[in-house]
Each structure stands twice: as structure tokens, then as C-alpha cells.
């Protein structure tokens, strides 16, 4: 049926639903209904409880902070108490009040049964850039339930690999863009097939394809790139990279919309609140339930290949970026250090990245 949405289109729809608080049906060996914790309403929680036992799926990281047992390692299935309110759910999903209300447990977490829907629920919430937590309740007839309530139905066997794989990117448009560092700039826009964020590539000059190109993979940082935040070094790095490309006469800067190391701006601001409570950048991500770095660097390698580049002189202090480029078919002939933008406010942040994330100083 040419008009019917295919699995990746259903995935895009599911992300939008979860962000709006609309439940999503998962169809597979363990059919289930999913509701994102962040957008849960009292009415939907009350109705969910009438349908059977409800679990709150959390990441293993978040469970560790809450001292809840995660029998499945990367994911924990907390049994929802009968009197659970949206605030209770929110309190488990969101660490904002952890220090003010430290005694949240003890929690009953499930051990028996299939954690597949819970794992997917958390992955979907992450890909919708929400808090990585969701209610999960078993369904008998996924197809019938979805039809009855007008809900998006995802098929587990197709959606799980889709969430893991790199969504194909297409170049939508490119146009001349003279910028302060070079009058011969060209901006390319790439759009992923799965409806997630677009990414951009800025060519400076006319870089040759047969020699290593001076390249920067820059992850979006609204606060640093645009607001002049003193908490990180992103803005100065962005401008220094462009300036160096301008001086050399050629280069390519990828602007990847992976805000907050891939957790989205809202979650990054949650992490900043936690940092104001005394946690460092890595601890804050973990308390929220995220890994240190949720970015997918395959996107950068793919865009470089699409533009015809196969080897780079990479402007970075992050060895993980170099490793990921090499792994995904882009040779890194040289690491070009990018040491700019140190401030009194980001000293601790840079020190944590050096100590915990292997960044080179």
C-alpha cells in the first residue's frame, strides 16, 4: 500500500506521539503499551492503571542512582505501586529533586518476564529527546488496542534494528554562503530518512577530495555556540575551527545537531541544574539516566563520505571521535588540537572531560 507509513515513518510518528504524551503500542513477542514518563498526564496514568500491572522502565544508570535493582543490566523495571501519582513517576524519572527528597525507595523491580518492551521504551524516549523513562504495560491484542484507541503501532522486530542503525542521510540542498572567514563558503543540508534532526556541512574554499581535508565535527551547543556560555568551550572552538580553515583556504566543518552530546537541549539544561547541585558533567548525565556521550559519530563519517572525502586532518581533542572516524571508513591522518576558550567557569568541565572521557589537553 503506497500510502501506508513504513517502519521508519512509524518510528518518526511514535517519537512525536511520545513527546505529546500520546501512548504508543509495541507489537511483538511481548506486546505492550508505552507512555513517556516526562509527558504523562494524570488522566492517562489513571486509565493505564485500569488495564493491568504497570512498570516504570528506567535505564540502569538511573536505577543505580535510585538504588533500584536493574536485573536486566541496562534497564530496570520498577513495578508501579497502586497509589503512584504522576509526581511519583516524575520523581523517579527526573533527578531534579533527588537531593531534596533522597528517600525515594525501596522499589520493587521485576526480574521475571521479558524486558524487551522496556528496553525499547527507554530507547524511544531517548530518541524523542525526553527523559529516558517510560511506563510499560502488557497488552493482549496490540493490533486491536491500537486500532480501538487510534494509536501508533510499532513492530518490535523492525523498530529495534531501526533504532540501532544509522538512518540514511540525503543531501537536500547546497548553496553558496560567503562567511567572514572565507568568501567561498558553501553550506549543505542533510536530512535523515527517519525524520530525526537535520545536519549541516560547511565547506570553506574548495577542498580537494584527493588529499586529507582540514575537518571539524562540531556538535551543536546552543548555549556555547550562540549564547556565549562560559560553561563550555564550544563557541570558541567553532569559531577557531572556521578561522583556521579560512587561513588555510579550505576545510569542512560539520555542524551536527547532537545538542548536549546527543541528549537534547532540555536534558542538557537538566544536567546543568544538577551541575549546580555539585555533580560534574559525566555524573549529571548518569543521574539523568544517560551514558556520558549519546552521540552517534557514524553520522559525521557518513556525511564526509557523501561529500567525497575519505581522509581528514581532524580538529579535535577527543580521541573517541578519531576512533569512530577510522572505524567508519574515514582515515584520520593527523589530529589538529583545538585548545581555545578556557574560562574560570569551564575549568572543572574541561578537567572532568580529560579525566573521565579521555579528552586530550
Show which residues are catalytic: 293, 295
346: burial class by Cβ within 10 Å (0-12, 13-18, 19+)? buried
Give 8 or 353: the residue with its C-beta nearer to Zn ion.
353
Indicate which of ligand GTP, Zn ion, none lies near residue 69 (CB less than 5 to 8 Å, by partner kind).
none
Residue 54-83 contact track with Zn ion, rule CB under 5 A, x = bound: ------------------------------
CA distance 297 to 247: 27
CB proximity list for 331: less than 8 A, separation 6 or greater:
212, 310, 311, 312, 325
Give 135 or 263: the residue with its C-beta nearer to ligand GTP.
263
- Cβ–Cβ under 8 Å, residues 239 and 216: no
Regarding 234 and contact with Zn ion (CB under 5 A), the answer is yes
Max CA pair span of the chain? 66
Give the number of other Cβ atoms within 10 Å of residue 293's Cβ: 18
* Min CB(95)–ligand GTP separation in Å: 13
Q: Tell me which residues touch ligand GTP (CB under 6 A).
A: 219-221, 232, 234, 237, 258-261, 263, 268, 271, 281, 285, 316-318, 321, 338, 353, 359
Indicate which of ligand GTP, Zn ion, none lies near residue 346 (CB less than 5 to 8 Å, by partner kind).
none
Q: Residue 205: left if φ>0, alpha if ψ -120 to 50, beta else—which one?
A: left
- Interface with Zn ion (CB under 5 A), residue from 31, 95, 207, 224: 224
Restricting to residues 193-222, name those near Zn ion by CB under 5 A.
221
Q: Cell digits for 164?
A: 540501532
Indicate which of Zn ion, ligand GTP, none lies near residue 237 (CB less than 5 to 8 Å, by partner kind).
ligand GTP
Give the number of other Cβ atoms within 10 Å of residue 227's Cβ: 11
* Min CB(90)–ligand GTP separation in Å: 20
Beta bridge mates, 36: 134
Question: How far, in whole angstroms, is CA 291 from its chain's centroid?
Answer: 10
Which residues fall in the annotated binding site? 216-221, 232, 234, 237, 259-261, 281, 316, 321
User: Going by DSSP bridges, is the β-strand pair 251-256/213-219 parallel, antiparallel, or unpaired?
Assistant: parallel
Regarding 338 and contact with Zn ion (CB under 5 A), the answer is no
Give 127 or 281: the residue with its C-beta nearer to ligand GTP.
281
Sign of CA dihedral 312, 347, 350, 133: negative
Which residues fall in the annotated binding site for GTP? 216-220, 237, 259-261, 281, 316, 321
Indicate which of ligand GTP, Zn ion, none lies near residue 77 (CB less than 5 to 8 Å, by partner kind).
none
Give 34 or 241: the residue with its C-beta nearer to Zn ion.
241
Q: Cell digits for 59?
A: 535505564
Q: Which residues bind Zn ion (CB under 5 A)?
A: 221, 224, 232, 234
Amino acid at each position: 500500500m503506497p500510502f501506508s507509513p513504513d517502519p521508519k515513518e512509524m518510528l518518526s510518528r511514535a517519537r512525536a506521539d511520545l513527546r505529546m504524551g500520546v501512548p504508543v503500542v509495541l507489537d511483538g513477542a511481548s506486546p505492550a503499551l508505552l507512555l513517556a514518563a516526562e509527558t504523562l498526564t494524570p488522566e492517562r496514568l489513571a486509565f493505564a492503571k485500569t488495564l493491568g500491572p504497570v512498570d516504570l522502565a528506567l535505564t540502569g544508570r538511573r536505577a543505580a542512582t535510585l538504588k533500584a535493582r536493574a536485573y536486566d543490566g541496562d534497564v530496570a523495571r520498577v513495578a508501579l505501586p497502586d497509589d503512584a501519582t504522576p509526581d511519583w513517576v516524575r520523581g523517579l524519572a527526573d533527578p531534579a529533586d533527588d537531593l531534596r527528597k533522597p528517600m525515594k525507595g525501596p522499589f520493587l523491580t521485576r526480574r521475571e518476564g521479558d524486558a524487551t518492551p522496556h528496553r525499547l521504551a527507554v530507547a524511544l524516549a531517548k530518541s524523542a529527546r525526553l527523559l529516558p523513562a517510560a511506563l510499560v504495560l502488557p497488552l493482549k491484542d496490540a493490533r486491536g488496542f491500537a486500532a480501538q484507541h487510534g494509536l501508533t503501532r510499532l513492530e518490535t522486530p523492525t523498530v529495534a534494528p531501526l533504532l540501532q542503525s544509522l538512518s540514511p542521510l540525503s543531501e537536500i540542498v547546497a548553496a553558496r554562503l560567503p562567511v567572514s572567514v572565507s568568501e567561498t563558503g558553501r553550506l549543505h543540508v542533510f536530512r535523515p530518512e527517519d525524520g530525526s534532526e537535520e545536519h549541516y556541512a560547511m565547506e570553506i574554499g574548495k577542498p580537494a577530495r584527493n588529499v586529507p581535508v582540514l575537518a571539524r565535527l562540531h556538535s551543536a551547543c546552543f548555549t556555547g555556540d550562540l549564547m556565549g556560555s562560559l560553561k563550555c568551550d564550544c563557541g570558541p572552538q567553532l569559531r577557531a575551527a572556521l578561522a583556521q580553515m579560512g587561513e588555510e583556504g579550505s576545510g569542512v566543518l560539520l555542524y551536527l545537531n547532537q545538542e548536549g552530546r546527543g541528549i537534547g537541549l532540555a536534558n542538557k539544561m537538566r544536567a546543568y541544574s544538577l551541575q549546580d547541585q555539585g555533580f560534574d558533567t559525566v555524573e549529571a548525565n548518569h543521574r539523568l539516566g544517560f551514558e556520558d556521550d549519546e552521540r552517534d559519530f557514524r553520522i559525521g563519517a557518513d556525511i564526509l563520505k557523501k561529500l567525497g572525502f575519505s581522509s581528514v586532518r581532524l580538529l579535535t581533542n577527543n580521541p573517541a571521535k578519531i576512533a569512530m572516524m577510522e572505524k567508519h571508513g574515514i582515515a584520520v591522518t593527523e589530529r589538529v588540537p583545538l585548545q581555545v576558550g578556557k574560562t574560570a567557569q569551564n575549568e572543572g568541565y574541561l578537567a572532568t572531560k580529560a579525566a573521565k572521557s579521555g579528552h586530550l589537553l
